[in-house]
Amino acid sequence: MFIPKRIIFEKDILKYPMASEILNSFKDNKGIEIIHMTSNRFKEYIPGNDLYTQFREGKKTLVIDTKKSLKFQSCKPSAHYQLPLVTGCMGQCEYCYLNTNLGDKPFIRVHANLDEILNQTKLYIQGRIPETTIFEGAATSDPVPVEPYTHALESTIKFFSEQKYGKFRFVTKYNDIDGLVNIAHNGRTEVRFSINTANIIHQYENGTASCEKRIEAAIKMAEAGYPTGFLIAPIFIYPNWKEEYQELLNMVKSKLPKKMKYPLTFEIISHRYTSIAKNRILEVFPNTKLPMNNEERNYKYGQFGYGKYVYPKDDLNEIKAFFSNEIEKIFIDKEIKYII
């Protein structure tokens, strides 16, 4: 569970029940600074005169605000739309793509107007009937570490349990999911856990749960009848990468229940980065060993209008062939959503 150093409440936010409940949860904790804003300039309340310091202080900061725009962004290939429950993440993964669009706003933002967000979700669903509309709840965040006091995932899972033409999915690197296990989800929510080799987690995934704890949490959700899957990302090519990823897949196989209600899903994403992210990563993590040599990558334009540096075509084909073959060999009831 994320325990912030400071909590910043947007002006007039306490009229929303979620905001009041969060305040009641933390107001007696002397180690947490409670800030009630008179304006909406969040960054004024976060210490630091440079990105290095602002990043670290921002990662200790929880902002309670409202989601102003209810126009949802697209979310290919994971889903049709992003579902904006939370923005930002307590983790300090050095490769994180959020360094591109949240680099100067690394704090965690909880959107207290959840009812309005879910009402808008219903309109998106109704607009595509009879097609099923899928929403991604972790496109710009990891909502699990704040779930014990926001209950945003709980409310959203209950909402989707009643949506014939809507489905919800989210992914996490954490294991604070006990409050979600016994919810009547009706199979409308898919839970995925982001995993990687011990080598990659140790080097780059600062402040996250261990791979073993993530898999333990996945077991709980699978046993509770949730559609369950794994996001293996980002894939890095390095010495012995195939052996280590094969070991990871075998560990998943050995720990999961023998019988699951739904096929186990996999999403495989190779490492990529933008120029903006690279510059911010080098400023925030000056000693990083992330492989970001532009000369060794191909430049590819993405869906949001900016380009990314990706592995060359031959390397991507090797990644696709390896994971396709290994997952097919190791797992029986499974589905590979995509390998990119």
pLDDT in tens, 214-241: 999 999 999 999 999 999 999 999 999 9
CATH number of 270's domain: 3.80.30.30
Q: What is the pLDDT of residue 79?
A: 95
Average pLDDT, rounded, for the chain: 94
Q: What is the pLDDT of residue 100?
A: 65
Instruction: For residues 6 and 31, give the distance between their C-alpha atoms in angstroms, rounded to a whole number.
Output: 9
Instruction: Check residues 137 and 303 and name the one with the higher pLDDT.
Output: 137
pLDDT at 171 over 70: yes
Q: Token digits for 208?
A: 């996250």
Q: Which residues 6+ apart lie within 8 Å of 289 measured at CB? A: 203
Q: What is the pLDDT of residue 276?
A: 87
Contact 326, 249 (CB under 8 A): yes
Q: What is the pLDDT of residues 5-14, one digit of tens each?
A: 999 999 999 9
Range of the domain at 211: 6-339
Is residue 1 one of the residues assigned to a domain? no
Q: What is the pLDDT of residues 109-130, one digit of tens each?
A: 999 999 999 999 999 999 999 9
Is residue 137 one of the residues assigned to a domain? yes
Q: If pLDDT is split at 50, 70 and 90, which confidence band does 44 have?
A: confident
- DSSP H helices, 12-105, are 17-26, 51-58, 98-101
Residues in the chain: 340
The candidate with the shortest Cα–Cα distance to 103, out of 171, 41, 43, is: 43
Instruction: For residues 59 and 6, give the distance between their C-alpha atoms in angstroms, rounded to a whole number.
Output: 10
pLDDT at 98 over 80: no
Q: What is the pLDDT of residue 39?
A: 77
Q: If pLDDT is split at 50, 70 and 90, which confidence band does 76 have?
A: confident
DSSP strand E in the chain: where? 6-9, 33-36, 61-65, 74-75, 79-82, 86-87, 92-93, 108-111, 133-136, 166-172, 189-195, 205-206, 228-235, 264-270, 298-301, 307-310, 334-339
Q: What is the pLDDT of residue 323?
A: 98
Rg (CA), the chain: 20
Domain count, the chain: 1
